[in-house]
Copies of this chain bind each other. A is one copy, B any other.
């Protein structure tokens, strides 16, 4: 049995219930050739465990567990609540979600339960109680996997009722709700709690998807994220009642929009996530996603799912090229993953995911390219030292990711419809990634003091508390950077009055009266004393510096020619940068040069070579990864360090074949 604390979990989703039992042992014989040591099971088995209401049948699962034990494969045991069984939806239609158009769904798809359905809660609780009671003593289990890829939204009457309770708890009085939401707008003043409905297409959401009352929409998102979290916690608590030790998790999905993962993270023992880059996802975006997931707890995480080959739901599901899956696996490790798990171990014969890649493909052969690559990786991972798993990552730069700003910004009507929170945050991540500078993604609740540079792009929502923390951070010598559409509103979408960006004007040393919106094709040139330094697009703040100095100003395409666009404001012993537009590459490079200089940060790498270092007290492990298809050469940053994968000393010049990975181990006393 693999001991999770002493190695890398290597395996993934396995659905033997889809196959004749007579074929199972053949699967295991093959999986063992790839050094698979873990299987995630039982994700969608509710109707098998409870084929009719109250009739439980764990015999097949017992047999699956027995096979796994016999084959020395440890288990990530899912709670089987990720899809409601047909009988439950048929007997109790309310367990299904009602969509944004007010249409109650019938049985189908997955992740389909209303989180506020009393019946769903009761039935899922009963199932999980029995499941955990039965298996909690099984030493095969390394992790508990609650439900699956939580997300989505329900708009039913049970949610409406629960929303009103949630609002009462948050606001106390209806008057406070009316005030928080500025509901006198368009005659929305609520006279009783019952009048409040979920904001939906058939009520207060426009066909654009944007709401009339921003505060109501924000609160409904908070409420739905909390509702699913309650589902999770209910299951978590049952498990914890029986099992005080083994880690409990659920699998996350990077920068998805529905759940405020920072609010979820404390309830998980370890973060797990599913990494599905599409064929045009840049390596830097995958890195960003890993760092976001690591940042949730600032701890290593589980790479719970990736495909060994192609996906199935994209327009074009390209094959991963030879070496690409291996590269992506090491990239995950480089950013903090401590497991390499696949969806899936054996490819379904049928159903929506039948063309999703798997270790055991439809060929049912171990002689495939994909099987061989996975098997090779399994062998390598088994050799990695325990110290690597215990190592951590400590960047000097922090980047705030804020789900509330994500929701608020993308709900905002004006100054443009072209507002994309993730793209805006990623843009600044990417600027540092290209310079080889590691980034820690943080929440607004985190301590900023360890960082030399703190960036908060598109941080649309601010509060007194966060503002004070950023001011204190900057005053104490930190470098802060933010940009257009940041600092505009409070937690229920009320503009901070007195000039934008409300609470941050003093910190940034400026005030903004107007925000121009310009068609993407009508860029504005940006000028510094030395000439044109780039272009701004889509939005342009009309900045009036008070104490800030102007780094660049708008060109003559606009009536605000000469007005500041990029500014820096010395504040205490730190400095606050402001970017009043969406920058092109040249403009961003110009800006970051100055930001890095002021932050005393130095660039490290270039091109498609990614360098990430994980450290323990005594050792460091530097991953040097060619994320691209072209050979790369770089100077070895740690010449003569020990190269883990080849088990040799490393040379002065590193030549990296396409998708090549080097891990340099250094020992410190």
Which residues of A are at the interface with B, using a C-beta cutoff of 8 A? 15, 17-18, 44-48, 51-52, 80, 82-87, 89-90, 99, 101-110, 181-182, 184-192, 194-197, 199-200, 202-206, 210-215, 279, 309-319, 321-322, 347-356, 361-365, 368-370, 412-418, 489, 492-495, 497-500, 511, 513-519, 538, 542, 559
Q: How far is the CA of A201 from the CA of B314 in the complex (A)?
A: 19
Q: How far is the CA of A318 from the CA of B560 in the complex (A)?
A: 13
A to B CB contacts below 8 Å, 22 in the list: A15-B184, A18-B185, A48-B184, A48-B189, A52-B191, A80-B187, A83-B186, A85-B187, A86-B188, A106-B200, A107-B188, A107-B204, A108-B202, A109-B206, A109-B212, A185-B350, A310-B414, A315-B519, A316-B538, A354-B413, A354-B414, A362-B500
For the complex of A and B, 3 pairs with smallest distance between CB atoms: A355-B414, A312-B414, A185-B351
Copies of this chain, whole number: 3
Could you say which of B206, B368, B513 contacts A365, with CB atoms under 8 Å apart?
Answer: B513
Contact A82:B187 (CB < 8 A) given known A350-B494, A356-B414, A415-B355: yes
A110 touches B190 (CB 8 A): no
A188 partner residues in chain B, CB cutoff 8 A: 47, 83, 86, 107-108
Q: How far is the CA of A211 from the CA of B202 in the complex (A)?
A: 24
Minimum distance in angstroms from A278 CB to a CB of chain B: 11
Instruction: Identify the closest chain B residue to A350 (Cβ).
Output: B182
A210 partner residues in chain B, CB cutoff 8 A: 352
Main secondary structure on A side of the interface with B:
loop
Q: How far is the CA of A51 from the CA of B191 in the complex (A)?
A: 6
Apart from A47-B188, A105-B203, A363-B513, what 13 extra A-B contacts exist at CB < 8 Å?
Answer: A45-B187, A52-B192, A85-B189, A89-B195, A90-B195, A108-B204, A316-B418, A319-B542, A319-B559, A322-B559, A362-B499, A362-B500, A370-B513
Minimum distance in angstroms from A128 CB to a CB of chain B: 14
Contact A319:B350 (CB < 8 A) given known A190-B86, A195-B87: no
Instruction: Identify the closest chain B residue to A539 (Cβ).
Output: B316
Could you say which of B44, B319, B361, B497 contacts A516, with CB atoms under 8 Å apart?
Answer: B319
Could you say which of B184, B213, B214 contacts A17, with CB atoms under 8 Å apart?
Answer: B184
Q: How far is the CA of A543 from the CA of B416 in the complex (A)?
A: 48
Minimum distance in angstroms from A520 CB to a CB of chain B: 8
Q: How far is the CA of A498 from the CA of B214 in the complex (A)?
A: 55
Contact A101:B102 (CB < 8 A) given known A186-B351, A187-B82, A413-B353: no
Q: How far is the CA of A105 from the CA of B45 in the complex (A)?
A: 37
B313 touches A413 (CB 8 A): yes
Q: How far is the CA of A495 from the CA of B321 in the complex (A)?
A: 24
Contact A86:B195 (CB < 8 A) given known A108-B205, A316-B416, A348-B185: yes
Could you say which of B87, B105, B493, B511 contacts A202, with CB atoms under 8 Å apart?
Answer: B105
A85 partner residues in chain B, CB cutoff 8 A: 187, 189, 191
Q: How far is the CA of A351 from the CA of B347 in the complex (A)?
A: 49
A412 partner residues in chain B, CB cutoff 8 A: 355
A500 partner residues in chain B, CB cutoff 8 A: 362
Q: How far is the CA of A414 from the CA of B497 in the complex (A)?
A: 51
B195 touches A495 (CB 8 A): no
A182 partner residues in chain B, CB cutoff 8 A: 18, 348-351
B559 touches A321 (CB 8 A): yes
Instruction: Identify the closest chain B residue to A212 (Cβ).
Output: B352
Could you say which of B190, B194, B197, B513 contacts A369, with CB atoms under 8 Å apart?
Answer: B513
Minimum distance in angstroms from A217 CB to a CB of chain B: 10
Minimum distance in angstroms from A179 CB to a CB of chain B: 10
A519 partner residues in chain B, CB cutoff 8 A: 279, 315-316
Could you say which of B104, B187, B317 contacts A416, with CB atoms under 8 Å apart?
Answer: B317
Q: How far is the CA of A314 from the CA of B519 in the complex (A)?
A: 11
Minimum distance in angstroms from A448 CB to a CB of chain B: 28
A499 partner residues in chain B, CB cutoff 8 A: 362-363, 365
Contact A513:B195 (CB < 8 A) given known A187-B44, A322-B559, A559-B321: no
Contact A413:B312 (CB < 8 A) given known A45-B187, A182-B351, A499-B363: yes
B87 touches A354 (CB 8 A): no
Q: How far is the CA of A518 from the CA of B355 in the complex (A)?
A: 15
A181 partner residues in chain B, CB cutoff 8 A: 350
B497 touches A349 (CB 8 A): yes
A185 partner residues in chain B, CB cutoff 8 A: 15, 18, 44, 348, 350-353
Minimum distance in angstroms from A167 CB to a CB of chain B: 14
